[in-house]
Amino acid sequence: MNDIPPSTPVELLTFRLSDQEYSLDIMCVREIRGWTRTTPLPHAPSYMKGVINLRGTVLPVMDLAERLGLPPREHTDRNVIIVVKFEETMTGLLVDAVSDIIALTSNDLQPPPDSASTGGGGIIKALTLLDDRMIRVLELSEIVPAPQSDAA
Protein backbone atom coordinates (compact mmCIF):
# COMPACT_ATOMS: atom_id res chain seq x y z
CA MET A 1 0.00 0.00 0.00
CA ASN A 2 3.04 2.23 -0.32
CA ASP A 3 1.87 3.59 -3.67
CA ILE A 4 -1.35 5.11 -2.27
CA PRO A 5 -1.00 8.45 -0.48
CA PRO A 6 -2.28 8.43 3.13
CA SER A 7 -5.96 9.28 3.63
CA THR A 8 -6.85 8.74 -0.01
CA PRO A 9 -10.53 7.75 -0.27
CA VAL A 10 -11.08 4.19 -1.48
CA GLU A 11 -14.37 2.55 -2.45
CA LEU A 12 -14.50 -1.22 -2.46
CA LEU A 13 -17.10 -3.72 -3.68
CA THR A 14 -17.25 -6.55 -1.15
CA PHE A 15 -18.37 -10.07 -2.02
CA ARG A 16 -18.38 -13.56 -0.57
CA LEU A 17 -16.50 -16.66 -1.64
CA SER A 18 -17.39 -19.65 0.56
CA ASP A 19 -17.37 -18.21 4.11
CA GLN A 20 -14.79 -15.56 3.32
CA GLU A 21 -15.17 -11.92 2.38
CA TYR A 22 -13.15 -10.26 -0.36
CA SER A 23 -13.24 -6.91 -2.12
CA LEU A 24 -12.17 -5.15 -5.30
CA ASP A 25 -11.65 -1.49 -6.12
CA ILE A 26 -15.04 -0.28 -7.33
CA MET A 27 -13.36 1.60 -10.20
CA CYS A 28 -12.55 -1.77 -11.83
CA VAL A 29 -16.16 -2.98 -11.69
CA ARG A 30 -18.27 -2.40 -14.82
CA GLU A 31 -21.43 -4.28 -13.84
CA ILE A 32 -22.86 -7.08 -11.74
CA ARG A 33 -24.87 -9.82 -13.43
CA GLY A 34 -26.81 -12.82 -12.30
CA TRP A 35 -25.41 -16.26 -13.02
CA THR A 36 -25.51 -17.19 -16.70
CA ARG A 37 -24.56 -20.58 -18.02
CA THR A 38 -21.18 -20.41 -19.74
CA THR A 39 -19.92 -22.03 -22.90
CA PRO A 40 -16.76 -23.99 -21.99
CA LEU A 41 -13.65 -23.63 -24.15
CA PRO A 42 -11.22 -26.53 -24.74
CA HIS A 43 -7.78 -26.45 -23.11
CA ALA A 44 -8.71 -23.50 -20.88
CA PRO A 45 -7.43 -23.50 -17.28
CA SER A 46 -9.88 -25.23 -14.93
CA TYR A 47 -10.80 -21.93 -13.22
CA MET A 48 -11.95 -20.49 -16.57
CA LYS A 49 -15.58 -21.59 -16.71
CA GLY A 50 -16.12 -20.50 -20.31
CA VAL A 51 -17.56 -17.51 -22.10
CA ILE A 52 -20.89 -15.70 -22.16
CA ASN A 53 -22.47 -13.28 -24.60
CA LEU A 54 -22.47 -9.83 -23.00
CA ARG A 55 -24.53 -7.69 -25.36
CA GLY A 56 -22.72 -9.02 -28.41
CA THR A 57 -19.28 -9.25 -26.80
CA VAL A 58 -17.69 -12.55 -25.83
CA LEU A 59 -16.83 -12.30 -22.13
CA PRO A 60 -14.58 -14.89 -20.43
CA VAL A 61 -15.86 -15.97 -17.00
CA MET A 62 -13.47 -17.07 -14.25
CA ASP A 63 -14.46 -18.98 -11.09
CA LEU A 64 -12.72 -16.68 -8.62
CA ALA A 65 -12.83 -19.19 -5.76
CA GLU A 66 -11.03 -21.79 -7.85
CA ARG A 67 -8.57 -19.15 -9.10
CA LEU A 68 -7.76 -18.32 -5.45
CA GLY A 69 -7.32 -21.98 -4.55
CA LEU A 70 -10.42 -22.19 -2.35
CA PRO A 71 -12.32 -25.48 -2.03
CA PRO A 72 -14.62 -26.30 -4.95
CA ARG A 73 -18.33 -25.69 -4.52
CA GLU A 74 -21.45 -26.16 -6.53
CA HIS A 75 -22.75 -23.27 -8.61
CA THR A 76 -26.30 -22.11 -8.03
CA ASP A 77 -28.63 -19.49 -9.45
CA ARG A 78 -27.64 -17.29 -6.50
CA ASN A 79 -24.09 -16.92 -7.84
CA VAL A 80 -23.15 -13.58 -9.35
CA ILE A 81 -20.76 -12.52 -12.10
CA ILE A 82 -18.83 -9.32 -11.41
CA VAL A 83 -17.72 -7.85 -14.74
CA VAL A 84 -14.36 -6.14 -14.24
CA LYS A 85 -12.04 -4.25 -16.56
CA PHE A 86 -8.27 -4.46 -16.13
CA GLU A 87 -6.31 -2.46 -18.68
CA GLU A 88 -8.25 -3.30 -21.87
CA THR A 89 -9.44 -6.73 -20.76
CA MET A 90 -13.01 -7.35 -19.60
CA THR A 91 -13.48 -10.48 -17.49
CA GLY A 92 -16.36 -11.95 -15.53
CA LEU A 93 -15.54 -13.09 -12.00
CA LEU A 94 -17.92 -15.73 -10.64
CA VAL A 95 -18.53 -15.18 -6.90
CA ASP A 96 -21.06 -16.50 -4.37
CA ALA A 97 -22.76 -13.17 -3.62
CA VAL A 98 -22.10 -9.44 -3.63
CA SER A 99 -22.27 -7.96 -0.13
CA ASP A 100 -21.79 -4.22 -0.07
CA ILE A 101 -19.94 -1.14 -1.24
CA ILE A 102 -17.73 0.31 1.47
CA ALA A 103 -15.91 3.63 1.58
CA LEU A 104 -12.60 3.76 3.42
CA THR A 105 -9.39 5.71 3.35
CA SER A 106 -6.03 4.22 2.50
CA ASN A 107 -5.18 4.53 6.22
CA ASP A 108 -7.80 1.83 6.91
CA LEU A 109 -5.93 -0.67 4.73
CA GLN A 110 -3.07 -2.78 6.06
CA PRO A 111 -0.60 -4.77 4.00
CA PRO A 112 -0.87 -8.55 4.35
CA PRO A 113 1.78 -10.20 6.52
CA ASP A 114 4.81 -11.41 4.57
CA SER A 115 4.13 -15.00 5.60
CA ALA A 116 0.59 -14.78 4.19
CA SER A 117 1.69 -13.41 0.85
CA THR A 118 4.26 -16.09 0.04
CA GLY A 119 3.00 -18.44 -2.59
CA GLY A 120 -0.01 -16.27 -3.31
CA GLY A 121 1.76 -14.18 -5.91
CA GLY A 122 0.58 -10.92 -4.37
CA ILE A 123 -3.10 -11.64 -4.97
CA ILE A 124 -4.00 -10.03 -1.63
CA LYS A 125 -3.15 -6.32 -1.86
CA ALA A 126 -4.38 -5.34 1.59
CA LEU A 127 -6.56 -6.28 4.55
CA THR A 128 -9.09 -4.20 6.40
CA LEU A 129 -11.20 -4.68 9.48
CA LEU A 130 -14.79 -3.50 9.30
CA ASP A 131 -16.69 -4.16 12.53
CA ASP A 132 -15.75 -7.80 13.16
CA ARG A 133 -15.21 -8.60 9.51
CA MET A 134 -11.75 -9.20 8.02
CA ILE A 135 -11.96 -8.18 4.37
CA ARG A 136 -9.26 -9.07 1.88
CA VAL A 137 -8.59 -6.54 -0.89
CA LEU A 138 -7.64 -8.32 -4.10
CA GLU A 139 -5.00 -7.15 -6.58
CA LEU A 140 -6.86 -7.42 -9.87
CA SER A 141 -3.65 -7.35 -11.93
CA GLU A 142 -2.63 -10.65 -10.29
CA ILE A 143 -5.98 -12.31 -11.01
CA VAL A 144 -6.92 -11.27 -14.53
CA PRO A 145 -4.52 -12.42 -17.24
CA ALA A 146 -2.75 -9.61 -19.06
CA PRO A 147 -3.67 -9.22 -22.71
CA GLN A 148 -1.38 -11.05 -25.12
CA SER A 149 0.81 -8.80 -27.21
CA ASP A 150 0.69 -9.17 -30.97
CA ALA A 151 4.37 -8.17 -31.24
CA ALA A 152 6.76 -11.02 -31.88
pTM of this structure: 0.86
- C-alpha to C-alpha distance for 99 and 96, rounded to whole angstroms: 10
- pLDDT value of residue 106: 87
Q: For the chain, how far is it from start to end, CA to CA, in angstroms?
A: 34
Q: Which CATH superfamily is domain 9-142 in?
A: CheA-289, Domain 4 (2.40.50.180)
Domain assignments of the chain as residue spans, ordered by start: 9-142
- C-alpha to C-alpha distance for 13 and 105, rounded to whole angstroms: 14
Q: Is the pLDDT of residue 116 over 90?
A: no
Mind listing the pLDDT tens digit for each residue in 17-57? 988 999 999 999 999 999 989 999 999 999 999 999 999 99
Mean per-residue pLDDT, 68-80:
86
